[in-house]
Structure 1
Amino acid sequence: MSGFDVMAILANPEFSRMLLHGLLMTVVVFAGSWTLAMGLAALLLSVRMLPSRIAEGVVAAYIAYHRNVPTLVQLMFWYFGIASLLPPDVQFWLADHNSEAVFAIIALGLCQAAYFSEDLRSGLRAVPKGQWEASRALGHSFIGAMRWVLLPQALRNAGPSIVNHTVSLFKNSSLAMAIGVSEVTHVIKEIESRTFRAFESYLLGTVIYLACTLLLMAFGAWLERRNRHMRPVA
């Protein structure tokens, strides 16, 4: 179709609804996978800090697997592989509750946890050893010291790296279209196939992703400034 006309898409109520639904699904997948990844990353770091070579080896193997296997392969492994091993009743239930989004959240969350865990580990290395000794002297257990003293400082130190990987996670949510999740990229491709306006369609997708990632980066910069101001002066 000749002639540049992005309003031919935006002014169409059906296409506008599709874009909004795709953006909402992208946010849901991103938020769910981010929450899973950060919680699991903290757990992986805590396990790795235990005085056990077996525990450290298991966590190291987990991280190596998820950092060296393409994210798209992991998505397909969960959606087509793991799903096929579930009992039929569970498969039917998932099919009725957007199984594509569920497995996308699981796969992306498990994958991103490996990166967040390494970020937290680097942040923890920057925490003075005296903090650990002081927390134990105050009567904190290992879990208590990690939860109330060490992990908050590690999270603050690892802020820039976590923000970068958060942006990467948001962009990688577009891979969920490969298993049928109706997120932004999936919707853009559907609109393009129905309107034959490839340039306008993918321009809209580019603008949406750019705007969202810039907002995430701005939020991360605000958090960094806030943490810098809250940091006690030595």
Structure 2
Amino acid sequence: AAWPLDVFIPPDASPAVVARLKDLGADITVCDRKAGETGDPCVTAFRAAVRDGALPFGVQGPDNGLAIEGGRTLGFEIAETLAAAGSEPGTLYVQVGGGALASALAQGLFQALAAGRLARMPRIVALQTEGCAPLARAFGKATDIALDAAAKHRTNYMWAWESVPHSLAHGILDDETYDWLEILKGVRTSGGAVVVAPESAVERAYDLGKRHTAIAASATGTAGLAGLLSGPLPPGPVTVLFSGIDR
């Protein structure tokens, strides 16, 4: 469409991604972290651009609801697959950074349940890395709090991760889980959990994905498997999402 595209990236963005953005003619702004600054500087710059009139071409539900609408179809596909298999839904492991993927999956599965495609929700287990786990922190703090009360007092439960995030699963190192509330709803309602995986499990999941599948998933994309590797094997079938290409 030949529209201008402003992109805000961290200094350690993948060289392959940066090269592709340049090929597409994007106007790239590298956002460095500054002393005393909280939150992701890329998100801060992105939202400032939106306030100035830019269209929010992003992947987080609070900024671009269409991202959630698209992601719900993954939930529909999983529901159809589970229904066709004729087995109980078991447990679904999903990697979480900003939260759009897990939020969309939960909403899609709820819709499938309401439509009679599932006998019950699969248990949703949200995975974060030990290098950045704001959702796990919020899940623990809001254990006995009603969701509507948590929503009204967001900053009591969800705030930016205090240290600079690091992990091989680079794509889920969001300072905040922006779509956190829908994920908490999905986890609670399904009887699931939020798991923090050690970096060793993240690395092992990536290695297993490469060696035992033909899916060229990145370490971010295989991180959900790290959740399965970090705890006891749940009963029944297990679904793990591999998402995000290895560049």
Q: TM-score, normalised by structure 1?
A: 0.25
- The structure richer in strand per residue is 2
Structure (1 or 2) with the larger CA radius of gyration: 1
Identify which of structures 1 and 2 has the higher relative contact order when contacts are C-alpha pairs closer than 8 Å and 6+ apart: 1
Tell me which protein shows more helix as a share of its residues: 1
Compute the TM-score of the two structures, normalised by the length of structure 2.
Answer: 0.24
